[in-house]
Structure 1
Amino acid sequence: MSKKTRNTLLLIFIILFIILTTLFSIYASGYKFNLSWPIRFNRLLQRTGMLIVETKPTKAIVYLNNKPQHNPSLKPWRKDYLVTPAKIKNILPGEYELRLENEGYWPFIKKININSGETTFIKEINLFLKTTPTLVLPCPEDSLIISPDSKYIYSQNAKKIITLKTEEVKELEVPNEAPSTWLDNNKLLVAGVLFNPLKNTTENYADLIGANADSWRFETMTGYLYYKNKNTINLFKPDNRTSTLLLSGGDYLDYKPKNNQLFILIKKDNQIFLEKIPSTNSQKESWLLPATGDYSFSQNLANYLTVYDKKNQTLYLFNETKIGDGPLVIKNIKNWALMDINNLIYTNNFEIYTFDLTNNRSTLITRRGTAIKDIIWNAEKNYLIFSEKENLNVFDFKNHNVTSLLAGEEIISPVLNTKDNTLYFWANINEQEGIYKILL
């Protein structure tokens, strides 16, 4: 080899070394050539961004603009797909469609923005199982309520208790359309009948009191039962089976016993009041409500006593120790759930909001094109389940992404078994009406 050839090769190697070193330095510094057509020289060299993605469960394949991402490797013939948890470097700035796919799960699809010199975090993504609904109990349209320990469901129209572990069904002998509620001790109260599904025992207090007794309530702290009898409110002590008259002569719209106190909604001279009847000699408190409402007590939220006006779709939240201070008021509200001690999530027909109880402020989260019927908040996994007339959906609260789980002719009354992450609901699917379940 001549000296001239050696010098030429040396020069070529030096030039290649300089070029490659420069390219690797640019790449390592987070820059990348943008060779899209037409070429824009002011954007020929751009600083890139990074994407970090995490899912539950893991090992979801990552797609950007329908292109599967691959693991960087010194073996270019290997085409291993990049799966979560994933860190993708040197992405050109811009908008991308992120899609995450895991076999047996619904895909996660979301528009994301990658910014120059920044890291975009898409974390705590819940992927939901793609499962076929299983029929638990054939029945006409029904409303479901689940026990606090997530072991039993009561079908209110069919008047049947379903043991979720075995799916054994027991029919109760109670009046039609009787109001029902699960108590904190996981007993079911229906029209004065107290049923214990664990021991399979029934205590019928309505037979003791008489057919005129209705609007039964249970007070957890004392274990006492309350009931209305025409225009009276009465106390029943199950241990000695004695009744005591508490109030009489009023137009009592609704009442709620709590912590050995009694709260009533009463109509006086065409005015409606919320009143607190203390158990001791302390002063009675009251608050005047708008006269046009259709009021009832609902389940307490955090430390608030809740009164709902169904006619005007307004929720009143009272500090139960200071009724006279007045309520927090949320208007245009149909369904709600407590997110944590300071926050509420609620819907009207087409919108989902959060409400901050500490500063009395609502925040719009999302809008839907179809009316929202029922909602369930899963605090542990930070997502909202909501039903529409023909769809069952999940809203990932952190990532603001909606996953459609199921479509049917009609879907109502979902309840969640948080212990095994199973969702129960009534639906009409392929002309089969009944109570179904799916695993999330």
Structure 2
Amino acid sequence: MTIIHKRIFWLSMVVLFLIISSLIVLYGMGFKYNASTKSLESTGILYVKTYPRDVNVWLNNELYANQTPWQKSRLLPGEYILNIEARDYFSWQKKIDIKPGETTFVEDVVLFKREPMIALRNFELLDYLPLANNNQVLIVNENGLQKIIILNLPFENFIDLYTFTEISDLKLISLSGNDKKLIYQKDDTFWLINLDYPTEHYRLSGLHSSYWQDFKWHPTDDKVIYSLVDNILNEIVLDNEKPVLKNQLSSIYGYFPYTNNIIVAKKDNSDLMLTELTSELKKIKDLIIIPFSTKLSSNNYQDYLLLTDQIRNKTYFLQLGKEDINAKIFDNFTNFKWYDTMHDKIAMWNNNEISIYFLNRDDSLLLLRTTDSITDLWWHPNGTYLFYQIDNNINLIELDERDKRNNYFFSATETNSPFIINNKGTTIYSYNHTTQTFYSMDIQ
């Protein structure tokens, strides 16, 4: 081999080395050859996490995995169709954009079962109230006997608390904030029972029945009740379970228990002044003036208060712990439900729309608009799905706004009411008034 040939050979080796090393570096940096564009492009990563874990993950109709979490690297930029399936579950599908040099996360995907309803118990449901732990207090007529029972959702069983000796017109009125005491109406009289000692019933005598038409418990003290009668706010103390009128305040058009105090809407010329009072109705400070209304409702969590003017179809959102209080206004929404796990977002709805308000970023997301009438709504525990009721059926929609939202329909028999979702979001319970049967349906 001549010197020239040697030089050509070693020069070729150097050039080849530079080419190969460059390709290795580009590969390590996530570049990949795109045959359609005939060029090297930076790739992306797809990460998928689901519940349940044992699912089939399809990408552009090709099966890639049978379990999650799952990650696929070196995907060329572009649009992919992601399908997640499992036997006896509704499938999940969405178009996913893969971007160069980025990881696309598809997390908190929940697959829901296709299961029939199962009958739990037969009775005539007369009334019900939810407990804070998601259990339910029911008044039922079973085999000719009227009973107060507890539906224990985690164990899916019923606990008989009390059986009445005679048939009456019974109605559940209110539960105390700690779920210990229950006020119910029996014909024209009002009674109090302690759920820990359900055989002891106390007649709430000494006050006119109007005091028990619009009342609320103190948030933490089950011996204190507030009642609004003819724009007079009354503080009622249960002394040995007998109601005693303690304090009164006039010109009140709304009242809202708040931590250990109470917020009142007091007439102030042609407006209403929101004022914070002690539990004994003593003034602490004025908060903010709002337009006058005779029909107010509230929904609060810690320092946050949602105050709805049902006449104007307007809601004021207040953060009470601040020195200077300003009201954020939501128009056309009168129903609200906090996401109880994190309290970082609120579901808002009216007859035909559902929106989500995010506290951290102070903006709203329109989730659903429909011509049907929405009658109720519940959060799924992971905060990325919402149950909502239309007529006698339960629907479920995801918050993920990429592509089209997955929306599921759980078929139900006619005249189901109420619907109850357990705390884990795994089971729907409903009562059918026609068959007088309480049902459960597993969805996870």
Summarize the alignment of residues 93-108 of structure 1 with structure 2, pairs less than 5 Å apart.
93-108=77-92
TM score, norm. by length of structure 1: 0.72
Task: Report the counterpart of residue 6 of structure 1 in structure 2.
Answer: none
What whole-Å deviation, never above 9, does each CA across 1:110-152 have from its counterpart, x for those lacking one?
1212334543221222222332223445678988542112333
CA distance in 2, matches of 1:423, 1:432: 18
Alignment partner of 1:53 is 2:45: no
Q: Which of 433, 436, 439 is the matching residue for 2:439?
A: 436
What whole-Å deviation, never above 9, does each CA across 1:196-221 have from its counterpart, x for those lacking one?
44443454342454544313332243
Summarize the alignment of residues 36-435 of structure 1 with structure 2, pairs less than 5 Å apart.
42-43=37-38, 48-69=43-64, 82-136=66-120, 145-154=129-138, 161-164=149-152, 165=155, 166-168=157-159, 179-181=173-175, 183-190=177-184, 193-207=191-205, 209=207, 211-214=209-212, 215-228=214-227, 230-231=229-230, 232=232, 233-239=234-240, 241=242, 243-247=244-248, 250=250, 252-258=252-258, 261-266=261-266, 272-278=272-278, 279=280, 285=286, 287-292=288-293, 294-296=295-297, 298-320=298-320, 325=325, 327-339=327-339, 340-357=342-359, 361-369=362-370, 370-380=372-382, 382-397=384-399, 401-408=405-412, 409=414, 413-418=418-423, 421-426=426-431, 432=435, 435=438
CA contact (8 A) 1:136 1:435 kept: yes
The residue type equivalent to 2:78 in the other structure is: G
Alpha-carbon shift at residue 99 of structure 1 (Å): 1.2
CA distance in 1, matches of 2:193, 2:299: 20
In structure 2, relative to structure 1, the CA distance for the partners of 1:258 and 1:364 (3 Å cut) is closer
In structure 2, relative to structure 1, the CA distance for the partners of 1:383 and 1:427 (3 Å cut) is farther
In structure 2, relative to structure 1, the CA distance for the partners of 1:224 and 1:116 (3 Å cut) is same
CA contact (8 A) 1:154 1:161 kept: yes
What whole-Å deviation, never above 9, does each CA across 1:286-317 have from its counterpart, x for those lacking one?
65432355213x34223134422223332223
Alpha-carbon shift at residue 61 of structure 1 (Å): 0.4
What whole-Å deviation, never above 9, does each CA across 1:83-118 have from its counterpart, x for those lacking one?
322223444443222111122332222121233454
CA distance in 2, matches of 1:142, 1:268: 42
In structure 2, relative to structure 1, the CA distance for the partners of 1:313 and 1:87 (3 Å cut) is same
The residue type equivalent to 1:184 in the other structure is: N
In structure 2, relative to structure 1, the CA distance for the partners of 1:181 and 1:435 (3 Å cut) is farther
Q: Percent identity?
A: 20
CA distance in 2, matches of 1:388, 1:141: 21
TM score, norm. by length of structure 2: 0.71
Task: Report the counterpart of residue 10 of structure 2 in structure 1.
Answer: none
CA distance in 2, matches of 1:208, 1:293: 28
Q: 5+ residue gaps in structure 1?
A: 1-20, 35-39, 70-80
In structure 2, relative to structure 1, the CA distance for the partners of 1:268 and 1:104 (3 Å cut) is same
Question: Aligned Cα RMSD in Å?
Answer: 4.3
What whole-Å deviation, never above 9, does each CA across 1:238-273 have from its counterpart, x for those lacking one?
33746134226x454443445554433455777545
CA distance in 2, matches of 1:139, 1:268: 51
Give the 3-state SS of the residue equivalent to 1:58 in structure 2.
coil
CA distance in 2, matches of 1:405, 1:396: 12
Q: Please state which structure has a larger fraction of its residues in strand.
A: 2
Task: Report the counterpart of residue 15 of structure 1 in structure 2.
Answer: none
CA distance in 1, matches of 2:440, 2:199: 27
CA contact (8 A) 1:372 1:386 kept: yes
211-220 vs 42-51, which deviates more? 42-51
What whole-Å deviation, never above 9, does each CA across 1:165-214 have from its counterpart, x for those lacking one?
32346678786666434532444344553444444345434245454431
In structure 2, relative to structure 1, the CA distance for the partners of 1:347 and 1:210 (3 Å cut) is closer
